[in-house]
Structure 1
Amino acid sequence: MAQKLTATTTGVINAEPAGVWAVLIDPELLSQAFFGAEVETDWRAGSPITFSGEWNGKSFQDKGEIVTVEPDKLLRFTHYSPLSGQPDLPENYHTVTFALTPAKGGTELTISQSNAGSEEERTHSEANWAQVLGTVKQLAER
């Protein structure tokens, strides 16, 4: 089996970690960052998280589980999308991590997604997460 790849994007946001964190856990703001998907969870480790909406004209409901919640520092959850065409098995879930680090001028936000099955998938995921990071930056800086 091929080694799984990790997509990563990093940027500095001109806001304190608490301000960035507030965007990440606000369902309405997070929806803007997640391409309009409705995000539902209670943000507690072990709780389910769902993302529902429309992507490229197809309705979807992705799901996962909250893994780690460290306010103003770290948010990690698993993610599975039926649109991937893969069966709903643990080995087909990604782990998505939002790591916040105080930085000169604000907060460094690193978003990573593990378990990409190919270089093409990794590159595609990095482009999507770069867009998410850009929107989180806009929302946190306003």
Structure 2
Amino acid sequence: MAESTFIYVTYIRTTPDALWTALTDTDFIPQWWMGVRTETDWRVGGPWKLVLTDGRVADTGEVLEFEPPKRLALKWRNEFMPEAAAEGWSHCLFELEPQGEAVKLTVTHSMPREKSKLIQAVSGGWPQILSNLKTLIETGSALVAQRTAEAAQA
């Protein structure tokens, strides 16, 4: 089956435990995800969703894997872009690997279809979001503090 995949790799000067906390602490996530918040209890099989700053649900899904501080996998469906929502479920995997004084973070977002609108959208979003995460962890302040609801749709 044809698939659309976006892979982003970055190295963050931190520890695996600190990066894991940044990725899963629902109070910390809005600092690097530009105000977007998560609602989940981080248990395998549990629901997961992203909520925009104006209260609309952006994405929903399920926690598929939760292996601190190594792997987090999410079943993921966009809820606010009609073309992407119509594509159905995607898969997003976060992998953390210690690399000396840093952690290699690999995010792989895939959709089991060619030319996915969702993967096209996240290929523009993930670099900004993950650069924000890296900068926040390494310097203490994010590149972009909050993204407007209109920008989140772009």
Asked whether the two chains share a fold, i.e. TM above 0.5, the reply is yes
Residue 88 of structure 1: how far off its partner (Å): 6.4
Q: 1:42 to 1:121 in 2, by over 3 A?
A: closer
Residue 119 of structure 1: how far off its partner (Å): 6.6
Residue 123 of structure 1: how far off its partner (Å): 4.4
Q: 2:67 is matched with which residue? A: 70
Q: 1:127 is matched with which residue? A: 124
Residue 87 of structure 1: how far off its partner (Å): 8.6
Q: 1:53 is matched with which residue? A: 52
Instruction: Pick from 122, 136, 139 the counterpart of residue 139 of structure 1.
Output: 136
The answer on 1:99 being equivalent to 2:95 is yes
Greater shift in the superposed pair: 96-105 or 68-77: 96-105
Residue 121 of structure 1: how far off its partner (Å): 4.9
Residue 39 of structure 1: how far off its partner (Å): 0.5
Q: Partners of 1:88 and 1:111 in 2: how far apart?
A: 21
Q: Partners of 2:85 and 2:8 in 1: how far apart?
A: 26
Equivalent residues of 2:78, 2:118 under 8 A apart? no
The answer on 1:109 being equivalent to 2:96 is no
Q: Which runs of 5+ in 1 are unaligned?
A: none
* Aligned pairs, number: 138
Q: Percent identity?
A: 25
Equivalent residues of 1:5, 1:122 under 8 A apart? yes
Q: 1:84 to 1:3 in 2, by over 3 A?
A: farther
User: Over aligned residues, Cα RMSD in angstroms?
Assistant: 2.6
Equivalent residues of 1:49, 1:66 under 8 A apart? yes
Determine which structure has the larger strand proportion and give its number.
Answer: 1
Residue 30 of structure 1: how far off its partner (Å): 1.3
Amino acid at match of 2:15: E
Q: Partner of 2:52: helix, strand, or coil?
A: strand
Q: Partner of 2:44: helix, strand, or coil?
A: coil
Q: Deviations over 1:103-127 (max 9, x none)?
A: 1331000111110651765343222
Q: Partner of 1:28: helix, strand, or coil?
A: coil
Equivalent residues of 1:41, 1:48 under 8 A apart? yes
Q: 1:38 is matched with which residue? A: 37
Between the two structures, name the one with larger relative contact order (CA 8 Å, sep ≥ 6). 1
The answer on 1:4 being equivalent to 2:3 is yes
Q: Which runs of 5+ in 2 are unaligned?
A: 141-154
Residue 96 of structure 1: how far off its partner (Å): 1.0
